[in-house]
Amino acid sequence: MKYSIKKIADFLQGTIEGDPEVEIGNIAKIEEAQKGDITFLANPIYTPHVYTTNASAVIVNENFIPEKPVKANLIKVKDPYQAFSSLLQMVSQDTYSNKTGIEEPCKISSSAKIGKDVYIGAFSYIGDKVHIGDNVKIFPGCFVGNHTVIGDNTTIYPNVTIYHDTVIGNHVTIHSGSVIGADGFGFAPNNGSDFKKVPQIGNVIIEDFVEIGANASIDRATMGSTVIKRGVKLDNFIQIAHNVEVGENTVIAALTGISGSTKIGKNCMIGGQVGMAGHIKIGDNVKVGAQSGISHNLKDGEIVVGTPALPIRNFKKSTIIFKNLEDLYNRIKKLETELNQLKK
pLDDT single digits (tens) 274-322: 999 999 999 999 999 999 999 999 999 999 999 999 899 898 888 888 8
**Looking at the structure, do residues 89 and 235 belong to the same domain, yes or no?**
no
What's the pLDDT at 96?
65
What's the pLDDT at 320?
86
Q: In sequence order, what are the residues at sequence separation of 6 or more whose Cβ sits closer than 8 angstroms to the Cβ of residue 323?
A: none
**Looking at the structure, do residues 228 and 127 belong to the same domain, yes or no?**
yes
| Poorest-pLDDT segment among 162-171, 176-185, 189-198, 224-233 | 189-198
User: Residue 322 domain-assigned?
Assistant: no
Q: What is the mean pLDDT of residues 83-108?
A: 86
Alpha carbon 175 to chain centroid distance? 10
Q: What is the mean pLDDT of residues 156-173?
A: 98
What's the pLDDT at 97?
63
pLDDT single digits (tens) 102-125: 999 999 999 999 999 999 999 999
**Looking at the structure, do residues 84 and 155 belong to the same domain, yes or no?**
no
Q: pLDDT-derived band of residue 95, with 50, 70 and 90 as boundaries?
A: low
**Looking at the structure, do residues 305 and 175 belong to the same domain, yes or no?**
yes
pLDDT single digits (tens) 13-23: 999 999 999 99
- Please state the domain count of the chain: 2
Question: Percent of the chain scored above 70 by pLDDT?
Answer: 99
The closest of 71, 42, 66 to 54, measured between CA atoms, is: 71
**Looking at the structure, do residues 89 and 108 belong to the same domain, yes or no?**
no
Tell me, what DSSP letter sits at residue 298?
B
Measure the CA–CA gap between 282 and 289, rounded to whole angstroms: 14
**Catalytic-residue membership of 242:** yes
pLDDT at residue 227 greater than cutoff 70 = yes
User: Residue 308 domain-assigned?
Assistant: yes
Q: Domain containing 147 — which CATH number?
A: 2.160.10.10
Q: Domain containing 71 — which CATH number?
A: 3.40.1390.10
Q: Whole-number mean pLDDT of the chain?
A: 95
pLDDT single digits (tens) 264-279: 999 999 999 999 999 9
Annotated catalytic residue within 171, 242, 279, 296: 242
The closest of 73, 82, 100 to 3, measured between CA atoms, is: 73
**Looking at the structure, do residues 144 and 268 belong to the same domain, yes or no?**
yes
Given 96, 112, 130, the domain boundary residue is 96
What's the pLDDT at 191?
81
Q: What is the domain range of residue 176? A: 101-314
**Looking at the structure, do residues 17 and 112 belong to the same domain, yes or no?**
no
**Looking at the structure, do residues 251 and 287 belong to the same domain, yes or no?**
yes
**Looking at the structure, do residues 86 and 112 belong to the same domain, yes or no?**
no
**Looking at the structure, do residues 7 and 123 belong to the same domain, yes or no?**
no
Q: In sequence order, what are the residues at sequence separation of 6 or more whose Cβ sits closer than 8 angstroms to the Cβ of residue 294?
A: 274, 275, 276, 277, 280, 282, 288, 304, 309
User: Residue 51 domain-assigned?
Assistant: yes
Helix axes 312-323, 325-343, angle to 10 degrees: 60
What's the pLDDT at 296?
96
DSSP element (H, E) containing 7: helix 5-12
**Looking at the structure, do residues 293 and 307 belong to the same domain, yes or no?**
yes
**Looking at the structure, do residues 90 and 171 belong to the same domain, yes or no?**
no
The closest of 14, 22, 20, 19 to 40, measured between CA atoms, is: 14
User: Residue 327 domain-assigned?
Assistant: no
Q: What is the mean pLDDT of residues 217-235?
A: 98
Q: Are 302 and 320 in contact (CB under 8 A)?
A: no
pTM: 0.84
